[in-house]
Structures are given as C-alpha cells and as structure tokens.
Chains A and B, each alone.
Chain A
Amino acid sequence: MADDIITVEHLRYTYQDAQVAALDDVSLRVPRGTWVSVIGHNGSGKSTLAKNILGLLEPDAGVINVDGMVLSEETVWDIRSRVGIVFQNPENQFVGATVADDVAFGLENHAVPREEMLTRVDDALNAVRMREFANREPAHLSGGQKQRVAIAGVVAQQPQIIILDEATSMLDPAGRKEILALIRELKDRLGLTVLSITHDLDEAAGSDQLIVLDDGHVVETGKPSQIFAHGTSLVAHGLDVPYSQQLRGELGKLGIEIPGDYYDDEGLVDYLWTLRSTM
C-alpha cells in the first residue's frame, strides 16, 4: 500500500448548477509503475475524475494524494509538475505556435533554464519521433501528430505519472494504435505510471487494472480478465464486450460452451486450436 502513487478517498464533486454529483464517494488506488484504466460511458464522470486529480476542479469532499503529497492549494503546482496529462481534443491543447514551442510551454511555466530546455525539448521530440517537425505549425499536422506533440510536452516535463484523458478517442484507428504503442514504449523506458481514461475496451484490455465508473460511482474494480469475464455488466454500464467474449457468446448459442472465466484474443485462438486438434 505504501507504493500507491495516486490514492483517491471518498471524492465527491458537483458541477455548478447541477442537481446530482458528477462523482460521488469515489475511492481508488493506482500502484506505482502500473497501467490503470478508468472506463465508463460518456458522462460517467471519468474526465471529471482526471481534472480533480490535477486540481483543475476543486472537490466538494474527499482526499487526493499524489506521489506522497496531499492535494491542496500549496501542493497543486508541485503535483502538476509530476503529472502530465494528454487531453481528448488534439487541437485545443496545442498552445505553442510551433511544435517546439508547444513542447517547451510546460517547461517555461516551471521556469526551467533555457539551456536545459533546449536539450529536453529535443530529447522529447526524439522520443515521440517528431524531431523533424520541430518548426512546423499545428495547422500542418494531423490529429495523431498533434497528440504525439502533446505527449512530447509531457515527456519533456519528466513526470512520474501520465494521465490520458480519452487521448485517442478523436483519432482514426491507425493513429490510435500508434499513440498507444508509443505510450507503452515510453512507460517502460521511463518507468512511468499510466492512468488512462477511456471507453475503448481494446485500449483498456492491456492494462494492469480496470476501474469501471458509472454515474459517478465506482461500480467495479479488478484485473481486465476478472471484469471481462462477466461482460454483460459492461453492456449495462454503456460499454462494449471484448471481442473474444462476444465470439464465445455466439459459439455458446451454437452449443459450443467454452469453460473458464476469460480468454483474450490470443488465449481464445489457442483454446480453439487445441479443441480442434483433439478432435
């Protein structure tokens, strides 16, 4: 328990003029070095959660702890320097007039000396393979490229945690795949903790832990295999069933019952092949 990099306890948040709380008694833990996904339909409160963790919204009640610091007015800037976030809309988070300017924006805010800034911007652009675009203007970049620049901005900041707030939901499938592969690579190389907020089950399937949010409540927490094992509840929460589970369901209708809790795609392929070989 000592090594939970984020803990949220009994968090409640209500938007101005709203009758019901967007988040109600939400508690969760993110162990250091893991990939945790918060999944839920649009309006389930998942983005509100991310904004609370960064102190961008002020909770009605509850305690948030990030990297050993309790979130408060005094610690919020320290916390923001340790947490990088990539938002949903590639266009509306691009502050700089050029790629390099945008990557440098966070560093300027944290008063990093210029000499150090130059190397950190360059390294970060290299890490996301956007170095040759350093002087490009955002108007000449695709959505996927803009998201890579946003990631470079996070990397340059050298944070402990990266939060993806539906960072891939506005990209085409190719762009989505690319961004996820990049985050995975950076997580391993830089020893980051990833908190991903998403409604894409393919994205969530690779995480260490899933937290299902519905109407501002945590309704389920567990490993993907545990949660995917009873897929029907995911549909009830406005989500999808993983493909392998859908296929199992269809096979079941035809009388082929597959025992066990959950198989991912690869597991199911193996199982089916074994089944065929033993015939």
Chain B
Amino acid sequence: MNKMILGRYIPGDSFIHRLDPRTKLLATFYYIAVIFLANNWQSYLLATVVTLAIIPVSKVSLRFFLNGLLPVLFLIVFTVLIQVFFTTGGHVYWHWGWLSVTSLGLTNAGFIFVRLVLIIFMSTLLTLTTPSLSLADAVESLLKPLAKIHFPVTEVALMLSIALRFVPTLLDQTTKTMNAQRARGVDFGSGGLFKQVKTIVPLFIPLFVTAFTMADELATAMEARGYRDGYGRTRFRVLRYGRGDLLAAVVLILLTLGLIFLRN
C-alpha cells in the first residue's frame, strides 16, 4: 500500500523534476491524446524513440518504470490477447470457432502493446518526478477559473494538501494498531472470509477514533493560527513557468508534427 501511494516520487534535481507541475500534468494528458495519432510502424517508432529519449533525462533508473508496468500487467496482457484472437483481417494463421489469429490481429496487438507501455511510461514519469503536493498545486492552479462559478478551489486545495500530508501519519498509525492487535492474538490476512471481516473491527475502530482526535486537534490548531474559511488569505506557495516549460512544449509540438507526417 505504502509503495502504491507514496513510494512513487523519487527526489531529484533533473530537468524534468524542475519543470512546473502544471506543465508535466498537461503534457502527460496531451501525450496520451496525441499518441493515438500513431497508426503505423513508422509513427510508433517515432513515439517510442522520443519517449525512450525523454526517460533518461529524469535520471531515474529504468527499473522504476518497468516496476510501474507490474500493477497493470494483467490489463495489458488481456487487451493484447483480445486483439490477437478477435481481430480479423489479412492472412489467417490459425482458426477455431470464432477465435482466429490473423496478420492484422498480430499487428494491431503489437501497436496496442506499444501504445499502452508508452502511456504507462509517461504517466510513471509524471508520478516519479512530481511530489503529490506539487500535483495538488497544479490541479488547484488549473482549476482556478472555476472559482468564478463559486467553486471553492482554494478550500478544496487546502483540504487536498492536508489529506496528502496526513497519509503517512495514518499509515503509521495503521501499522501501530495492527501490531497492537496482533500482539493480542489477531491474525490479519488469514482464515476464511468471516474471520477476515471480524479482524476489521479491532483495526478500524481505533483508527477512526485516532483520525477524529487528529482532525479535532488539527482544526483547533488551525483556528488558533488564524485560519477562517472564506477569508482572504495570501499564498506562500506559488507556481511559475520557466524556460524549461517552453522547451517541453516545443518537444511535444515537434512530436505531434512528426506523428502527423508519418501516419498513414
């Protein structure tokens, strides 16, 4: 659990680490969209080359990117198999009932495999090089226009950043509570379903109680330090675009043009 939520960010000072989080967030979404332009081996080759060229810039070991594939491995294999067996067209290599393996099926499967891996690499790049707090800042900044229609952007952003800040605290408390109950003879993660469900109570009630105390004390501390919602606050943390962000935009535009040029 810890690894999924937190262990993702790898601190560093690479060009990609230093990019504005808004740039990284928007670029990742843009990349996911633009990769659908690729539809032949030339365009996929270009996308692959560009992606593999970007990854080393982050100075994060390729191992972390490959690890990023693991949680979605099943999904990838499943999608690829569907393409292999259910796409028809071109030369037929094998046939059984409504299952068939055809040349078009294999090509499509290959393309989809590459596309999925590239998309996962790029989103992994985002999470490996951007702390979750910066992502929250980026979301806030990008949602700012919504304030005009009275959506409480700053309040939601503060809530989000506090939630993120307390994730490690709550995980720590979970470990402590599990240890305490284990010491009283609870076996977490063994026995039948009924037995499993029963172990939830001695874990979750103490956690809820702790979380409520925490929330209560935090609210008191915030109020004592002058926080009142809906009241004009200044901001300590601000985001600024830099020269690198421009460069990133240029790379994406070139990739788009290249894909349009190479596709059928």
Contact = CB atoms under 8 A, between A and B. Distances in A.
Chain B binds chain A: yes
* B interface bracket (residues with beta carbon within 8 Å of A): 20 to 34
Contact of B164 (A97, A107, A108): A97
Contacts of B221: 85, 87, 92-93, 95
A139 B169 contact: yes
Contact of A96 (B165, B168, B224, B235): B165
Interface stretch (A1-9, A113-121, A215-223): A113-121
A242 interface: no
Contacts of B220: 51, 56, 87
Given A111-B232, A111-B234, 4 more contacts: A107-B234, A109-B227, A109-B228, A157-B225
B237 interface: yes
A180 B238 CA distance: 34
A105 interface: yes
Interface stretch (B65-73, B176-184, B210-218): B210-218
A139 B164 CA distance: 11
Interface of B: 133, 161-162, 164-165, 168-169, 172, 213-214, 217-218, 220-228, 231-238
Contacts of B237: 101, 104
A66 interface: no
Interface of A: 51, 54, 56, 77, 80-81, 85, 87, 89, 91-98, 100-101, 104-114, 117-118, 121, 137-139, 153, 157
Contacts of B231: 109
Given A91-B214, A92-B213, A109-B233, A114 B225 contact: no
Contacts of B214: 91-92
21 contacts: A80-B223, A87-B224, A91-B169, A91-B214, A92-B213, A92-B221, A93-B218, A94-B165, A101-B161, A104-B236, A105-B236, A108-B236, A109-B226, A109-B233, A111-B234, A114-B235, A114-B236, A137-B168, A138-B165, A139-B169, A157-B226
Nearest to B237: A101
